Structure 1
Amino acid sequence: MAKPLRLFFIADIVGEPGLNLLETMFPPLRDKYEPDFIIANAENSHEGRGLNRHIVKRLYDIGVNVITGGNHSFDKWKIFPYMKTDEKLLRPLNYPKGNAGYGYGIYDTGISGLKIGVLNLQGRTFMPQIDDPFSTCTWALERIKSETDIVFVDFHAEATAEKLAFAWNFDGKVSAVIGTHTHIPTNDARILPGGTGYLTDAGMTGPFDSVIGMDKDTSIRRFTLGTPQKYKIADKDNRICGVSLQIDPESAKCTHIEPVIFPEFTNSL
């Protein structure tokens, strides 16, 4: 059997707390898992919503190969011109035609000509009613498969049922479906019967002394008062969430999937 392609996915990066932690603590994780290719979701990296060119460069500097996004990819309009030029910076493909940016790409892995397709899609349940991610994925796969059978999907969605339905629909057609958006790491990493690695949500890279990255008191007021509150990022108990995967380059099937939380949570006092 050929040497597996090792992938590492970094879950939703939340603001400076998440970025600073990555810059200091990701190198040891990179040394441990030895990924050939690194993907990171960064739609929350600039002040909790959106991203900018400076952050993109910081992520490339720590070894990230491709950046994915979600419903906050378009929150900072100043990055729109740059999104048109950087094919390694993705946003969900199923936003209507005419929006800036790329929704998928095919990239060299550095392993003897081996390529990987990375596809970014967004769900519609409890989310903006954009184009259908299922048919959009089918359309994209027809193009990606002309160059590689190895396909990684960042499926950015709220509803677990939609994520599962998507994964089952494309089991055996893509190498991995990793869910993002909710910022809560789930405990259901598995390989589906067709060989697709799956995780409902990878979690977030940022402050866990929070409500999904947001200051606790601010978030509580938002729910108890029922009115908008000024967005404020938390800054304590920072952790890196991610997923380590291994893909068989010959079959394009996932052979190993391992959620990563660093540092790990403690379950007792």
Structure 2
Amino acid sequence: MRLLFLGDIVGRSGRIAVQERLPELRQRWTLDCVVINGENAAGGFGITEAICEDVLAAGADVVTLGNHSWDQREALVFIERQPRLIRPANYPSGTPGRGATVIEARNGARVLVVNLMGRLFMDPLDDPFAAVERELSACPLGEVADAIIVDMHAEATSEKLAMGHFLDGRATLVVGTHTHVPTSDTRILPAGTAYQSDAGMCGDYDSVLGMQKDEAIRRFIEKTPGSRLEPGLGEAALSGIAVETDDLTGLAKAVWPVRLGPGLQESWPVAWDARSA
């Protein structure tokens, strides 16, 4: 099975990049399942129903969220009727929506997608380790699920790494989101789980984490209130991770960083497509 995970969509430029490039990538790479983090898709803060539907129509199978899940208040309502949009599973009991979903991939396989949020330097949510244990116990790899993708939306690399090792051999992919900078530790852990500490973002990299530079810099220098942070308007790059699985075990047998577009050195799964991307 071929899986693609793309990091946080930031603003309009990130959405345009996904809508323009994902349909072709899905076809060229014969992708079975695509998951995208969309928590910054609406002006850099949250997601709307219309944007969610556009991302799904472009080829995403599941959209994950994070600490900006409810910045667009309508998400509290429409998440209940959109099973392919998930928020962190360790939100308190009674929070709208769901923290995991099972979808049928293009090849007919069952893919469990789990969204988690870290607690270090983040909102004090429930224990993400206990939350993911519940989800995987109900839908274990190789028994109920043919593949398992875990989006660990967290600030601290240590917490993401701990989750990767905690799930090694029990999930297909554990990937970090939230910090918007792609890390260079793309690899397969000892028991077969693909891992990357942060997938990066789908956004304008001539920016500060996807936001226009001037106001972001001013805030560091002056430390006074100013104008609202706005997403960068330049051409966006897509950033994420591609995984090829062993169909017998559901674990990873090959993994590649994905970086396509301006601002980053490009990278993609050459085994899937040797042509220039």
Q: Counterparts of 1:180 and 1:148 in 2: how far apart (Å)?
A: 23
Distance 1:106 1:227, change over 3 A: same
Q: Counterparts of 2:107 and 2:225 in 1: how far apart (Å)?
A: 49
Q: Counterparts of 1:260 and 1:32 in 2: how far apart (Å)?
A: 14
Q: Counterparts of 2:234 and 2:216 in 1: how far apart (Å)?
A: 15
1:145-156 paired onto structure 2 within 5 Å? 145=140, 147-156=144-153
Greater mean deviation of Cα atoms: 242-251 or 211-220: 242-251
Q: Counterparts of 2:225 and 2:138 in 1: how far apart (Å)?
A: 43
Residue 247 (structure 2) aligns with: 249
Greater mean deviation of Cα atoms: 26-35 or 87-96: 26-35
Q: CA deviation at 1:147?
A: 2.1
1:79 aligns with 2:87: no
Q: Counterparts of 1:129 and 1:63 in 2: how far apart (Å)?
A: 33
Name the TM-score, length of structure 1 as normaliser. Answer: 0.93
1:161 aligns with 2:158: yes
How many correspondences in the alignment? 262
Q: CA deviation at 1:266?
A: 5.1
Residue 142 (structure 1) aligns with: 137
In structure 2, what residue type is equivalent to 1:8? Answer: L
Q: CA deviation at 1:127?
A: 0.4
Q: Counterparts of 1:165 and 1:22 in 2: how far apart (Å)?
A: 30
Q: Deviations over 1:6-55 (max 9, x none)?
A: 11112100011101122222233223322111111000000100001100
1:239–1:261: 8 Å Cα contact kept in structure 2?
A: yes
Q: Counterparts of 2:83 and 2:132 in 1: how far apart (Å)?
A: 18
Structure 1 segments (4+ residues) deviating >3 Å = none
Q: Counterparts of 1:26 and 1:116 in 2: how far apart (Å)?
A: 19
Q: Counterparts of 2:183 and 2:84 in 1: how far apart (Å)?
A: 27
Match of 1:179 among 167, 176, 193: 176
Root-mean-square deviation (CA, aligned residues, Å) is 1.5
Match of 1:116 among 111, 119, 123: 111
Q: Counterparts of 1:110 and 1:25 in 2: how far apart (Å)?
A: 18
In structure 2, what residue type is equivalent to 1:257? Answer: V
Q: Counterparts of 2:167 and 2:225 in 1: how far apart (Å)?
A: 38
Percent identical pairs in the alignment equals 38
Q: CA deviation at 1:237?
A: 4.2
Q: Counterparts of 1:136 and 1:36 in 2: how far apart (Å)?
A: 26
Residue 206 (structure 1) aligns with: 203
1:16 aligns with 2:12: yes
2:35–2:64: 8 Å Cα contact kept in structure 1?
A: yes
2:69–2:75: 8 Å Cα contact kept in structure 1?
A: no
Residue 46 (structure 1) aligns with: 42
Q: CA deviation at 1:76?
A: 1.0
Q: Deviations over 1:158-182 (max 9, x none)?
A: 0001111111111111111011000
Distance 1:228 1:100, change over 3 A: farther
2:9–2:201: 8 Å Cα contact kept in structure 1?
A: yes
Q: Can you give the 5+ residue segments of structure 1 that lack an aligned partner in the other structure? A: none
Q: Counterparts of 2:167 and 2:41 in 1: how far apart (Å)?
A: 29
Q: Counterparts of 1:153 and 1:132 in 2: how far apart (Å)?
A: 15
1:69 aligns with 2:65: yes
Name the TM-score, length of structure 2 as normaliser. Answer: 0.91
1:216 aligns with 2:213: yes
Q: Counterparts of 2:240 and 2:23 in 1: how far apart (Å)?
A: 14
Q: Tell me, what secondary structure is at the counterpart of 1:84?
A: helix
